Structure 1
């Protein structure tokens, strides 16, 4: 097998592993606050009403903290090891919903945050102690199995494959929803009663919750096996080898701290914050708004459809970026960032016009500004939101790999730390922040982030040209001397 095919295989397997472990995390995030709210309505003493938001805030708190030390972790670990442990932590989270308990819920949330950071550091070129562990492993694995010519396409391939998790998750939710709906209707027919569900928000029954999270736990366990079986050998001329680490734990930590105040990183902060705010909106705030809108109570398949739409947008855009990056030089930078900013503007406008202002906070029957939700509208919003998220995460990953070639691990970790901080703040405030703050603020932030990103991308491309010219000149001098 040649080096390019081997790198492609590694990226493919990495994406498949991500598909398994992220199926539960991404899809359950769409319904987490609604599921928690449903449990609280039946058993108020078991868990608080807004634990869905607060639990995700805890995830990102520990994610942020772990991101700051995750580059140091690679001095005593390997990408493959981080991926395996991160996957184990991912599996622990959905397992807790089989016996919902506040203490285990917040503990597993903290564990999930740590694991994701470490996996992303070794996966640091792509893109989400549990969150940090996963992405540290993912980034490092991609850099050691990609060259400069294949990094943009490998990133998009692995990302789009991983995002297929939302389509798989949508199928799981749709199947279980149909099973539960058929059973509920049978009981109503036997009792000769009618459902009043149209007058209330979307609710999840105990059996529905158990079935959904059992499926998520099983799929996450499959991800553990895939990561355990990943090939370990680096490709030739890889961007960064997985062996030969020179820094000690403390040296790597100091390097991360100095990277935080690096001028390039400071200029990219709006992009990192945009990643955090945008992810929080599409992964939790908006889907919760859909479920809390009483006008949508008869559309029981909205969570499944929304998950399918987001996943489709992520996958199709990832494939498009991968395809065009091979044919258009630097397509994964300025053009992709522009597409991402436009997508954010469009889907925020559609959410603003179709969703009541207090929908993320409480069940509501208030009228939207212009039109109500429908299956078609949610499909469009989800698709555009997924496409935009793929673009923004892709450019963030690429710029971190190229703008600071001597600090790739630290740059990626710092970017995730700022993203996590933004998400953490947003989730803690979600129980009191009106929806329109998101739908107006995000487009403004995306414009600022795009302008600053263009400046960094331009300087990075100039730096690469100088390095290429220097290498070419050195080669010519060496050839002349040999003659």
Structure 2
């Protein structure tokens, strides 16, 4: 097998492993608070009613802390080991829902947070060791495209299992002559549906471990950065990460990084919970699956569009992409504001929305806009971290994720008491602030790149004259 095909194989396998890891996690996040609320109502002593929010706060708190050390771990480990450990930690989380217990739940949440940090360090290291300067953009795009299908696959799993379990439930209700009064409540998840869902999520997560285990570990020729060459010690990498954390430039990008955390957590968990807690949606049992399909489709469509346009329009991945992201975040927040009761993220509610209620079509459109906005913001974050500090790329990426996780942690801890309108008004405002500050940093980065390019050309011309 030639080097190009070998690199493509590695990129596809990495993307497939990511798909397996995140299919369960993303689908779980859509329904987690609703599932736990359903368990709590049946057995209050097993778990707290808001453990869904608090558990995700624990995930991102440990993710934030782990990101501080992940570049140091990468300095003494290998990308493949980090990926296997990350997939193992992710697999432990859905397994706990087959025997729901508060202690295991929070412990496995902490492991998922650590797994996040290990995965992103392993992913970046694996790509750079299996790509050259000429193939890195293609490999990243291929890996990301395969991995981003996780929400589409998650949508199919949720729809199939919901259909099977609802048919069984309706048969039981019919045999017991249960009236339609049962529909005058929020979306409920029965024991059968929970067991089927989380068994499927566990199974596909285990497939991710197997995929990472059998991936080739040999570097390609002329790779960007070999996984076997360690440039820093654990402590040296930690000191570099700490100094990057308080860098004035990174602090100026703080609103962008926090926006990515707030935004992802809102569309991934808070809004799906609000749909489930809205009693008018009790008969729309496929809402979460349709919404997940919309988000996944939006991510893939805009990702391919950014990849295509970036090859034809210089710096399209910076200011234009950030602008598109801010616009779509504002649009989906406006749609949610008009269609969702203000107290829906906090408790089951029968209150009426401002203008119109939810439907499958609306959930699909909102999901599509969420996916577009999220992909744009995260693409911009990746681009600016890669360009802004060329000598500290691992540290810049880790710091961006620390701030991202900080935003998510705050959001989830506050979610049990925060009305919906705080999110739908606050996110667009933060997006505007982040866009303004990003434009300033982007302009400065482009000027720096031009100066570096001119200096390289001048050095090359001087070298030609000396040789002549």
Same fold (TM over 0.5): yes
Matches within 5 A, 1:129-208: 133-147=118-132, 151-208=136-193
Q: What pairs with 1:451-462 in structure 2 (closer than 5 Å)?
A: 451-462=436-447
SS of equivalent residue, structure 1 residue 367: coil
| 3-state DSSP of counterpart to 2:380 | helix
Counterpart check, 1:103 vs 2:88: no
Q: 1:203 to 1:323 in 2, by over 3 A?
A: same
Report the Cα offset of residue 191 of structure 1. Answer: 2.9
Q: Choose from 245, 268, 283 the match for 2:268.
A: 283
Question: In the alignment, does 2:352 pair up with 1:352?
Answer: no
TM-superposition CA deviations, 1:234-253 (whole Å, max 9, x none): 45555444342221111111
1:53 matched to 2:38: no
Aligned to 2:39: 39
8 Å Cα contact 2:35/2:189 also seen in 1: yes
* Structure 2 CA distance for aligned equivalents of residues 390 and 154 of structure 1: 17
Aligned residue number for residue 91 of structure 1: 91
> Quick one: distance in 2 between partners of 1:235 and 1:343?
39
1:46-445 aligned at under 5 Å gives the runs: 46-117=46-117, 133-147=118-132, 151-235=136-220, 238-445=223-430
Alignment partner of 2:276: what SS?
helix
Q: Kindly indicate whether the alpha-carbon contact (under 8 Å) linking 2:76 and 2:230 is maintained by their aligned counterparts in 1.
A: no
* Superposition deviation, residue 204 in structure 1: 0.4
- The Cα shift of 1:21 comes to 0.5
- Paired position in structure 1 for 2:459: 474
The answer to whether the 8 A contact 1:153-1:321 is kept is: no
- Separation in 2, partners of 1:96, 1:193: 31
Which moves more between the two structures, 471-480 or 57-66? 471-480
Decide whether aligned partners of structure 1 residues 459 and 217 sit closer, same or farther in structure 2, where only a CA change above 3 A counts: same
Query: Which secondary structure state, in structure 2, belongs to the residue aligned with residue 75 of structure 1?
Result: helix
Structure 1 residue 328 displacement after superposition: 2.1
Number of the residue aligned with 1:25: 25
Hey, what's the Cα distance between the residues in 1 that align with 2:309 and 2:87? 31
Change (3 A) 1:452 1:152: farther
1:218 positional shift? 0.7
Instruction: Find the aligned partners of 1:193 and 1:20 in 2 and give their Cα distance.
Output: 39
Preserved contact between residue 292 and residue 364 of structure 1 (Cα < 8 Å): yes
In structure 2, how many angstroms separate the alpha carbons of the residues matched to 1:247 and 1:326? 34
Unmatched 5+ residue regions in structure 2? Answer: none
What's the CA shift string for 1:88-143, capped at 9, x where partnerless? Answer: 101011111111100000000001101111xxxxxxxxxxxxxxx11111122233
- 2: CA distance, partners of 1:364 / 1:152: 47
For 2:13 and 2:172, locate their aligned partners in 1 and report how far apart those are by CA, in whole Å: 45
Structure 1 residue 194 displacement after superposition: 2.7
- Cα displacement (A) at 1:343: 0.8
Contact 1:309 1:380 in 2 (8 A): yes
String of CA shifts for 1:149-190, please: whole Å, max 9, x gaps: 655554443333212111111111111111111111212332
SS at match of 1:74: helix
Q: May I ask how many residue pairs the two structures share in their alignment?
A: 468
Deviations 1:261-295 (A, max 9, x none): 11210111000000010011000000000000000
Query: 1:56, CA displacement in angstroms?
Result: 0.2
- In structure 2, what is the Cα distance between the partners aligned to 1:143 and 1:331? 23
Q: 2: distance between equivalents of 1:162 and 1:415?
A: 21
Q: What TM-score do the two structures reach when normalised by structure 2?
A: 0.96
Work out the CA distance in 1 between the residues paired with 2:135 and 2:254.
26
Q: Distance in 2 between matches of 1:374 and 1:184?
A: 23
Change (3 A) 1:102 1:339: same
Q: Residues 6 and 481 (structure 1 numbering): CA distance in 2 closer, same or farther, change over 3 Å?
A: farther
Instruction: Tell me the distance in 2 between the aligned counterparts of 1:422 and 1:359.
Output: 21
Q: Distance in 2 between matches of 1:213 and 1:272?
A: 31
TM-aligned CA deviation for residue 146 of structure 1: 4.2
Deviations 1:58-104 (A, max 9, x none): 00110000001111101110111111110110101111111110000
Following the alignment from structure 1 to structure 2, what is the Cα–Cα distance between the partners of residues 187 and 305?
A: 26
Residue 300 of structure 1 and its aligned partner are, at CA, apart by: 0.4
The alignment partner of 1:430 has SS state of: helix
Distance in 2 between residues matched to 1:150 and 1:195, nearest whole Å: 59
1:470 is displaced (CA, Å) by: 2.6
